[in-house]
Amino acid sequence: MTQNGAKHSDEYPLEMSKSSSLHTSQNLQLQSLKLVEIGVGLGDLSIRLLGIAPLLSYEIDEALCSFVLQRFAKQSLANHFDLIHADVLSLPFALALQKCESKEKSKEGKADDTTKTDITSTAKYEDTSEKIREQLDEKSASQISPKSSWLATSPYILISNLPYYIATRIILIALKDPLCKGFVVMTQKEVADKFCASSGDSEFCALSVLAQSVGDIRLLFSVPKEAFEPMPKVTSSVFSLRKGQESFLGDFTKSSQRWLSFEKMLKHAFVSPRKKLLSNLARHYDKKQLEEIFATLDMPSHSRAHQVSTQKYHHIFTKLERTHDE
């Protein structure tokens, strides 16, 4: 199996290779950025990406690493290529983030469910790089800067065909990595629909709001299951995100508490999609204050979570945050 969970043969259909390269170069303006690929596979997509920009690829399968290195050694590459044999979810930035989130979940678990909570989290991003670095092989550790980034030491665009069981996790880490300036990924269609949904859509959820809070996210095209061999049971979709110069949440490494507090609020908001948003939030925040915020935003008290725009979620969070600061 590869990093992306596909079989060794034809994990990237030709259509995916051509279209990803085209959309990446046109929509994300990659001329000055490095590309980072998770799951090199047989190297078919890698070859096309190298025609655009320098490429750093990660692959968890040692046999595939050897195959690709031998294959590329026989070819003249348009740009510089680096390949790292590693599990991207075990790199320092990802592990430090996981520890940070685990602390927040542990804190929530100990609190009484009916207790009103402050909007500002007490969890902090902790750099455990030195301890984790010792556990990585020397080659991987020497090419990663865990203090500021996940996959590279300079601004980059992430390219990947992600399996359903790690797709959401990888995308959420990419959103938080300050050096990841955007991505073009292929996932199960259901995952793509959630990240790319607009308010009012039935698929609109916390993931949609979080992605829109970071940048411009777009659903590009679908890839039929017949394009793969062996054929999966689900349709896939390709979507992209280009981060804005200044996002609502800012740099995660500098404002991790704000990020986690916003994510927690969204979790509460969408916990019961069919119930009223006000009821969902009132279980954790002051109901009177929420009613005042809803009135200020001209939001009906019977609004459901999926009916509220990302901008209004920003306003709700800012109001709660400001009240706490006062």
Residue list for the binding site for S-adenosyl-L-methionine? 4, 39, 59, 87, 161
Characterize the bridge pairing of strands 55-59 and 215-223. unpaired
Half-sphere exposure of 233 (CA within 13 A, CB side): 1
- What string of H, E and C letters represents the secondary structure of the chain? CCCCCCCCCCCCCHHHHHHHHHHHHHHHCCCCCEEEEECCCCCHHHHHHHCCCCEEEEECCHHHHHHHHHHHHCCCCCCCEEEEECCHHHCHHHHHHHHHHHHHHHHHHHCCCCCCCCCCCCCCCCCCHHHHHCCCCHHHHHCCCCCCCCCCCCCEEEEEECCHHHHHHHHHHHHHCCCEEEEEEEEEHHHHHHHHCCCCCCCCCHHHHHHHHHEEEEEEEEECHHHCCCCCCCCEEEEEEEECCCCCCCCCCCCHHHHHHHHHHHHHHCCCCCCEHHHHHHCCCCHHHHHHHHHHCCCCCCCEHHHCCHHHHHHHHHHHHHHHHC
Distance CA 169, CA 150 (A): 13
Tokens at residue 28, please?
């994300």
Binding-site residue positions: 4, 39, 59, 87, 161
Return all residues near 26 (Cβ < 8 A) that are at least 6 apart: none
CA distance 302 to 298: 12
Token readout for 115 is 């207790």
